[in-house]
Each structure stands twice: as C-alpha cells, then as structure tokens.
Amino acid sequence: MIYLWLKAGHIIFVIFWMAGLFMLPRYFVYHQEAAPGSDEEAIWLDRERKLLKIILNPSVAVVWILGMGLAYAGNAMSMGWFHLKLAIVLALTGYHLYLSAYHRKLQRGERALTGKQLRLFNEVPGIAAAFIVVLAVIKPF
C-alpha cells in the first residue's frame, strides 16, 4: 500500500513541478517585454520569485524524495528504463536550476536571452515529460 501512496504523491508533485517549468519561461518573456526599472518589471520579478519559492523549489524536492522512494520500493534501481528516466530527470533538474539562475540574472538587470529563445524553452519540459512517461509506463528495456 505504501507504494501506491508514494506513486500518488509523486505524480501530484510532478504535475506541480511541470506546471511551474512551463510557466517560468513565459514569465521571463513578459518580464523582458517590460521596460527596465519599471513597476511592471518589479511585478514580474516578484511573480517569478514566488513561483520559484512557493511551487517550483518545494515541488522538485518532493518529486526527488518520493521518486527515489518509489524506485526503491518498486525495485526499479536495476532496470535500464529507470536509468534513462533518471538521466532525463537529472537533465530536467539542471534545466530548473538554469531557470533559477536566469531569474537571478534578470534581478541584476541582465537580459541574456531573446523572447524567441525563451519561448523555445517552453518546449523542454514537454519533451522531457513525454520521454519520462513512455519510459515509466511502457518500460521498454
């Protein structure tokens, strides 16, 4: 029964994490469209900070804790599909950290990416999620 509770919690927090990963680059687009130093820019900085602190950072921590508990409880640690899934989740965690670092750059007034690049970043979590779901459900190897 513990396995099912771990799985339910893991899925719930993956949804929260993914929602935040889809939202944050879009926030960055709107932020960069605001005039530097404007009230609107300050509002976007606050929204980004809240999204990171309230949703993204806690969610990624819970996803990792429950995910590793699931892997242990389900004896997945020795399965090939799990290793690839874990590698993709590590890459997605790196993406999360990159977005957090970009938020800090925006706080300093640095706008290193274009709106088009940020819009393309919205595709990263969707592609990663598609691969992760296929690996977790189909378990191809």
- Domain ranges (residues) in the chain: 2-138
Q: Residue 130 and residue 98: Cα distance in Å, rounded?
A: 21
Residue 87 structure tokens? 């590698």
Q: Where are the alpha helices (DSSP H) in 34-141?
A: 39-50, 57-73, 80-107, 115-121, 123-138
C-alpha dihedral sign at 64, 62, 125, 109: negative
This model's pTM is above 0.85: yes
User: What does the angle CA 74 – CA 79 – CA 85 come to, to the nearest 5 degrees?
Assistant: 90
Q: Which residue has the tokens 């005039």?
A: 35
For residue 28, give the nearest of 60, 4, 51, 12 by alpha carbon: 51
Summary mean pLDDT of the chain: 97
Contact by Cβ (8 Å): 117, 111: no
Asked whether the beta carbons of 17 and 63 are under 8 A apart, the reply is yes
Per-residue pLDDT, averaged over 63-71, amounts to 97
125 in Cβ contact with 22 (< 8 Å): yes
**Residue 83, both tokens:** 């290793």
pLDDT tens, position by position, 9-21: 999 999 999 999 9
Per the annotation, does 83 bind a ligand?
A: no
Q: What pLDDT band is residue 66 in, cutting at 50, 70 and 90?
A: very high
- pLDDT at position 126 is 96
Under 8 Å CB-to-CB from 11, ≥6 apart: which residues? Answer: none
Which pLDDT tens digit goes with each residue over 82-124? 999 999 999 999 999 999 999 999 999 999 999 999 999 999 9
What are the structure tokens assigned to 71, written together?
A: 């892997």
